[in-house]
Amino acid sequence: MVAEQFSASPASGEDFDQLQTSLQELGYRDESGYLVQSVAKFWFGNRLGPLTVYPSQAACAEAFSVLQNTKRRGPCARYRNDLAFFLPTTSHGKMTRQKRIAYGGARPMRVFKGGGPFVIKDSEGMVAEALRKMGYMDETFNNDLPEALFVFVNRPDHKSTLRKTFDALPTSTDTAVDVKQKLRHAFLSNYTQGRWVVAPKDTEVRQTLCKHGFLTNIQAPQAEALQAMQSFVRSRGLREMRSYNGLVFNIQQHIYNKDPDRVGSIEFKI
């Protein structure tokens, strides 16, 4: 859950220290990492119902209250190192005065529009499931896992996180299996706040297709937009992609190829 507003301090510094200690004893936390990760996994692992995870102080206050009453509730389940917590966000967008009033700032707006938090148990299909929930995969035009991985790791926020936090940027010799394993490690880690960016929107690409005569209606069905993107890519000599999101990413790169703030894409064997 995401709270609309939260201003009161939920607990003292001493309470937070006690919360961290309790979560460490149960295996949900190391000596570092983001506390909201530990709290969300503790809450999910003990089947405690809905939890407000943004802002994170609200989650910490709720967890502290529960742990204070464990004697009455019975022992808590220990962590099995098998949960991934996600708090999806949208990409950076234009902030207006109206949006600031409505959401309280750019970051709350990105979180609110990200679709809501979720937790996934570790499994062979965990990474693919996470990508589906964040819009990178579906059963129609985005059922290609290697391309979904490619689009995901090339989001600017993800490049930064994978490089700075995990030293796990894909390399040209990596396979899709290698990249999936790197993401699995990152998703299970407590060293992010779970704020991964959802799949890119196609609005700007549709505008470009209409401008150049490849699409007659910006609201055209996805199947029609897919064909238009394929034609556009061939006409410009761009790399042909197998998925809808892959084509969107490819054309966005073409649109911004002269932007000095944009860097080249991360490549691996797809």
What are the CA-CA distances from residue 125 to residues 18, 104, 118, 184, 262 (Å)? 35, 36, 16, 10, 32
Q: What is the pLDDT of residues 74-114, one digit of tens each?
A: 789 999 999 999 999 999 777 788 888 888 888 999 999 99
Buried b / exposed e over 119-149, threshold 16 CB at 10 Å, is bbeeeeebbbebbbbbbbbbeebbebbbbbb
pLDDT-above-70 percentage for the chain: 92
Residues in the chain predicted with pLDDT less than 50, given as ranges, are: 4-10
Output the pTM of the full model: 0.91
Rounded Cα–Cα distance for residues 201 and 105 (Å): 21
pLDDT at position 104, please?
87
pLDDT at position 264, please?
80
